[in-house]
Amino acid sequence: MTENVWGYRETSARPQGVDLIGFKVEAVDGAIGKVDKHSDEADFAYIVVDTGPWIFGKEVLLPAGTVSRIDVEDERIYVDRTKEQIKNAPEFHRDKHLRDEAYHTEIGAYYGIGGPFGGSRF
């Protein structure tokens, strides 16, 4: 368990050097889209998911700590959140939020310690 929502869990099997762009993303209750961008930056790893028609073509930013498992062979990333939890996350606008520290704090709180899920799930 880790308190850093921005770091991949050891159990996620995050392969080093593998480009995750294009991988399909699965919530616990179904598909939510595909990876459009990702970062492995220390203390700020994340995936940006293009949701396509699921939520009207918007993108969502998911901290790496939400990733429960990565299947390289099947090119799928599994996250431990429901579609509803992801849909209700603070809205993401790439041009505005990608490097916005206040937004990162808000997302970290939503998905991590002190978030709406009763504390850390990592």
Residue 118 confidence (pLDDT) above 70: no
Rounded CA-CA distance 113/111 in Å is 7
Whether the CB-CB separation of 45 and 6 falls below 8 Å is answered with yes
In the prediction, which pLDDT does 116 show? 39
In the prediction, which pLDDT does 43 show? 81
User: At 93, phi and psi to the nearest 5?
Assistant: -125, 115
Domains and CATH numbers, the chain: 10-111 (2.30.30.240)
Residue 89 confidence (pLDDT) above 70: yes
Q: How many CA atoms lie within 13 A of 70 on its CB side?
A: 23
Greater model confidence, 91 or 34: 34
Say which amino acid occupies 28: V
Structure confidence by residue, pLDDT tens digits, 56-87: 778 999 999 999 999 999 999 999 999 999 98
Confidence band, pLDDT 50/70/90 cuts, at residue 33: very high
Rounded CA-CA distance 6/108 in Å is 8
